[in-house]
């Protein structure tokens, strides 16, 4: 991908001397990710994957929500009865993890759900359904890639302090941009208990 066709051709020619390759032209659809052209940008979208996921879970006609998690409630490991069979929970969370390729807006919520894979409860299942309802209402969100004349690198990070009510650990995250394009992002629970907001 680039804005200099001569350089792109040179790279492809050099690669073809070592590897057997075919130039398939502009990307369209690969591994459940669709590349949509529009006004000088490319949007990487998993709309078809999401639609299939909602259909498989019987939630294609569910009422959409504006946020993936409720700010007033936290999923704790002791808030309700454990699920009799945790397999559907684990499979569904795994499916949502694949969405993180193009959906950084889901990083915190999916990370939170992953923390209870060993013993999910009904409360966690309800939180998982909330994420699916949010996904239903945000089918058109994707990762936008835009050409930039001044590709400046920017990094942002933040964390809460003792945000987990179970073990008092903090959750941190970062996002790295090259110009207007998001390159890398993470939402992760910290390994140690922070003793101050500065440490977190």
Domain ranges of the chain: 28-147, 148-200
**Number of neighbours of residue 5 by Cβ within 10 angstroms:** 8
Check: CB of residue 143 under 8 Å from CB of residue 102: yes
Q: What is the pLDDT of residue 148?
A: 83
- pLDDT-based confidence at residue 79 (cuts at 50, 70, 90): low
Place of tokens 């299942």: 125
Q: What is the pLDDT of residue 196?
A: 85
The predicted structure's pLDDT at residue 167: 82
Pair 75, 152: CB distance under 8 Å: no
pLDDT at residue 4, rounded to an integer = 85
| Distance of alpha carbon 64 from alpha carbon 56, whole angstroms | 17
pTM for the model stands at 0.81
- SS3 percent helix, strand, coil of the chain, rounded to 5, is 30, 20, 45
């Amino acid at each position: 991908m680039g804005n200099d066709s001569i350089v792109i051709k040179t790279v492809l020619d050099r690669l073809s001397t070592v590897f057997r390759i075919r130039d398939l032209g502009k990307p369209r659809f690969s591994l459940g990710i669709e590349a949509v052209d529009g006004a000088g940008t490319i949007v990487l979208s998993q709309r078809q994957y999401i639609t299939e996921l909602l259909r498989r879970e019987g939630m294609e006609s569910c009422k959409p929500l504006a946020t993936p998690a409720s700010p007033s409630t936290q999923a704790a490991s002791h808030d309700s009865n454990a699920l009799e069979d945790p397999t559907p929970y684990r499979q569904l969370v795994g499916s949502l993890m694949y969405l993180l390729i193009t959906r950084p807006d889901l990083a915190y919520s999916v990370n939170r759900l992953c923390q209870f894979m060993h013993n999910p409860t009904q409360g966690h299942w309800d939180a998982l359904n909330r994420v699916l309802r949010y996904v239903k209402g945000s089918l058109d969100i994707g990762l936008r890639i835009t050409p930039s004349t001044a590709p400046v690198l920017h990094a942002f990070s933040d964390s809460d302090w003792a945000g987990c009510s179970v073990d008092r650990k903090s959750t941190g995250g970062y996002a790295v941009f090259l110009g207007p394009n998001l390159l890398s992002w993470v939402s992760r629970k910290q390994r140690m208990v922070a003793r101050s907001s500065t440490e977190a």
